[in-house]
Amino acid sequence: MSMAQTAEWICTRCGSTNRRLVADGATRADDACVTCHAHHVLEADARPVRWRARPA
């Protein structure tokens, strides 16, 4: 059974909070900020929901 988790990340350009559904167990994802559309690479952090984001 495949599950999904929420990756929450903060845009480094505008500071908006973004959320993306990723596969359970995933540690990397890409997303674009919903507000300013800057692309970011996301990496799972020790905290389960908040992911690290860096510009891509």
By CB under 5 A, name the binding residues for Zn ion.
Answer: 11, 13-14, 16, 33, 35-36, 38
Query: How far apart are CB 55 and Zn ion at their closest, in Å?
Result: 10
Which of 47, 44, 16 shows the shortest CA–CA distance to 29?
44
How many angstroms separate the Cα of 23 from the Cα of each of 13, 14, 48? 26, 26, 13
Our CB check for Zn ion shows the closer of 19 and 23 to be 19
Our CB check for Zn ion shows the closer of 33 and 44 to be 33
Query: How far apart are CB 20 and Zn ion at their closest, in Å?
Result: 13
Place of tokens 């860096």: 54
